[in-house]
Structure 1
Amino acid sequence: MKHQYVGDISDYRKYALLRALSWGGANRIGVCWMLTPSDGSADGGKLAYLRQPERYRQFDPQLFDILAHAADEPDRRRLQSIEESGAIAGAAYFNELLPDHTPGRAAFMDRCFSAFERADVVFFDPDNGLETSLPKGRKNSSKYLYLDEVARFYGSGKSMLVYQHFPRVERRAFLASCIERLRSVAPEALIWTFTTAHVAFFLAVHPESPARLAAAANEACGLWDEGFIAGQYVRSTRHGRPIIDSEIRM
């Protein structure tokens, strides 16, 4: 995550999903921004939706107004504007800058782990998503979440939501690959996908998590039309392809 992304259309979808999963604060969410420095690019500039309230405000009016206010002035396009707005009820935030180098990253994750001791679900917000072939510790590795880090949080009983940018590949196969990798380090997790035009979110619910988290995920699948966020429960995989249901009954 970068400050320059605050308020863009993907940000709107992200917070709408987090608000739905929090269930008004009943599910305690820890937000790990995985903050990286601005890269000077134009990324994060997709703000035109804020000038179309008749089309977009309906999805979450309160959140839309919060983001419109944050995006109105450059100085307000910072993560602190989201944290201080109360947009995600009862959320805790870890907003340190994530370094590339391995020792600094390990210390970052240690502090994050301690900060979210009481969280029901931890949201990881890397710039790009799950690890690829880039080794941890290399330049730009801070843009990824690594599977050993997922395994550590899941092993402690945490459910997780992970941001994933869509690369330029066939999406169905890509989603299946990500799900399989998550399953390899989060065995027995219940998994949902929430997809948008440019990004996906993977929710892995630990079997020891409160039933209300799965209930919130089910409910979120039906909150919006598919042009905003399409939510689906992943029942299993067959030949590398997810088999999905509209909901899971607990």
Structure 2
Amino acid sequence: MRDQYAGDVSDVLKFAFLRSLAAADRTLGVAWYYAPGDDGRPDGKHLEWRNEPAWQVLDAELHAGLSSLPSRTVAALESAALWPAGSIFHREPMPARVDRAEWGRRKREALEGADLVFLDPDNGLGAETEKHATFAEIRRLRRPGRAIVFITFPGRNMPHDVLVKQLHARLQDEAHAGQVATLRTNVSVPRAPGASSYVQRQRWFTMVDPDFLLIQRAQAFAEALTVVPRLSAKLDQTT
């Protein structure tokens, strides 16, 4: 997660989802996988949601909190009035690979009190780079009574129905996950500011070890997203 992405449409989706999952009975922990500095990419510029009434209908409190950010930074996100009570954060910058094990230990300690942990790397799961979380890190974060959620961005190298099954299988094999579920979202955003043509932006939110109530909340959230134009969602489960 980089400061330049703070408050983008992806944040609206992921924070609305996390708020729906946590409700009033889960303690949310957020592992930002924070990478300081601008990476020069044009990502993070889709703020059209601010003027779309449907996003406010989806979650008015979240809409107000994100719309009033004093700056587009991860620190400002943490201070915004949008988090479930008791939420905790780990924002230590991503380390060099040689220091990653100790960084991971400190992350686990910082999020010890969370029973719902969200991982927010730039590019989802992968190797030990600053842009990825790893299967091993998910395995080490697992414990009874805790669910882990992470964002990922599907590629185009295979059909997505196949890709999500492959992802779930790898989580069960490499992270020793039990039940796995992925909320697949697809939002269309203007190709350029003010453009009348749109491009698709797909964001997947995978839950590792969700209980029955979290599955119910995820399904209800997928249905709630139907109020937003040009946005679709589907929940896939593997037991």
- Bin the TM-score by the shorter chain: 0.7 to 0.9
Secondary structure (helix, strand or coil) at the match of 2:89 reads strand
Deviations 1:55-106 (Å, cap 9, x if unpaired)?
A: 4322112211222222xx6xx101122211231212111011012322x211
- Report deviation, 1:39: 0.7
- Structure 2 length-normalised TM: 0.82
In 2, Cα distance between the equivalents of 1:78 and 1:146? Answer: 24
Matching residue within 124, 130, 134 for 1:142: 130
- Asked if 2 retains the 8 angstrom alpha-carbon contact of 1:22 and 1:88, the reply is no
3-state SS of 1:192 partner: strand
Structure 1's unaligned 5+ residue stretches are: 237-250
The structure-2 alpha-carbon separation of the partners of 1:57 and 1:49, relative to structure 1 and needing over 3 Å to count, comes to: same
- CA separation of 1:12/1:224 partners in 2, compared to 1, >3 Å: closer, same or farther? same
Structure 1 counterpart of 2:148? 160
Cα contact 2:30–2:118 (8 A) shared by 1: yes
Which residue number corresponds to residue 178 of structure 2?
189
> 1:8 maps to which residue?
8
Q: 1:10-63 CA deviation, whole Å, 9 max, x = no partner?
A: 111010001001113x1111100001132122211111222x332432211221
Q: How many residues align?
A: 219
Moved more, 122-131 or 84-93: 84-93
Equivalent residues of 1:122, 1:161 under 8 A apart: yes
> What is the CA–CA distance in structure 2 between the aligned matches of 1:235 and 1:97, rounded to whole Å?
33
CA offsets, 1:123-149, max 9 Å, x none?
A: 100100011xx4x3xxxx111111111
Instruction: Find the partner of 1:174 among 157, 163, 179.
Output: 163
Please name the residue that 1:224 is paired with: 225
Aligned residue in 2 for 1:109: 104
Structure 2: unaligned runs, 5 residues or longer: 187-201
Question: 5 Å matches for 1:94-105?
Answer: 94-102=90-98, 104-105=99-100
Q: Would you say 1:122 and 2:111 are equivalent positions?
A: no
Query: How does the TM-score come out when normalised to structure 1?
Result: 0.79
Which residue of the partner structure matches residue 204 of structure 1?
208
Query: 2:183 touches 2:234 (CA, 8 Å); kept in 1?
Result: yes
Structure 2 counterpart of 1:60: 59
